[in-house]
Amino acid sequence: MTENTTSTERVAIVTGGSRGIGRETATRLGRDGYAVVVTYGGNQAEAEEAVKEVEQAGGRAIAVQADVADETAVSALFDRAEEAFGGVDVVVNAAGIMPLSPLADLDLTVFDSVVRTNLRGTFVVDQQAARRVRAGGAIINFSSSLTKLARPNYSAYAATKGGVEAVTLILARELRGRDITVNAVAPGPTATAMFFDGKPQELIDRIAAEPPLERLGRPEDISEIVAFLAGPARWINGQVIYANGGSAA
């Protein structure tokens, strides 16, 4: 991996960049010529593989470990991005966890962990992004179509994503005059390890058949939207983009 503190290329931080939608997004931004900071929670090997994929796609990349809910770690993450590549233009909040349970049965320690990663994590990263993203940049959060689909067993996850939507809309207005867009992408069911975990095939098949396009989303479907919001979509701001193949609430 190469680093250049004087580079004028666009620089993106992608949390949760070692796997799933985050990893596909990092690679997609690499294809657009970004320098990408692949941020991961614990699996360094996966993060280094993601770095190689970004570089093979044509971008530059480094891997940085950070707990997205820890403000000191996130500040250090932004420091590292600035030291390596000269600044930050795009922040993508793809880190998240999704334990499933009926509300009545959910252990509250699990609930607290979902809130900590999905909502507090987005808030902490957005706080640094609001202070440090350069003019012409973009902040892209991740909500979920579950805020509309209201599927049983997802109450904790959907609650955090509703909070992310509120943060997104308010931050877009707070950054008036900065030339920074703030939007959220709200995927429907997407073929990632997090989605498949613990689901029987019958349920997967039933969910895949729901949208008019009759399939699960693919990580690349979502990464294309993120790349659009990160670059050319300068007149889309303060919005939640539902990307679910036409699934209805």
Task: Give the other-Cβ count within 10 Å of 202's Cβ.
Answer: 8
The closest alpha carbon to 191, from 14, 15, 18, 19, belongs to: 19
Buried b (16+ CB within 10 A) or exposed e, 129-167: bbebbeeebbbbbbbbbbbbbeeebbbbbbbbbbbbbeb
Q: Which of 34, 40, 154, 157 is catalytic?
A: 157
Taken in order 199, 200, 205, 210, is the CA torsion positive or negative?
A: negative
Q: Quick check: 183 and 137 in contact, CB under 8 A?
A: no
* 103 contact partners, CB below 8 Å, separation of at least 6: 155, 156
- Which token pair is 112? 């607290």
Helix (H) / strand (E) element for 113: namely helix 108-114
Q: Quick check: 27 and 57 in contact, CB under 8 A?
A: yes
Q: Is 157 annotated in the active site?
A: yes
Q: Quick check: 169 and 180 in contact, CB under 8 A?
A: no
User: Which amino acids are annotated catalytic?
Assistant: 157
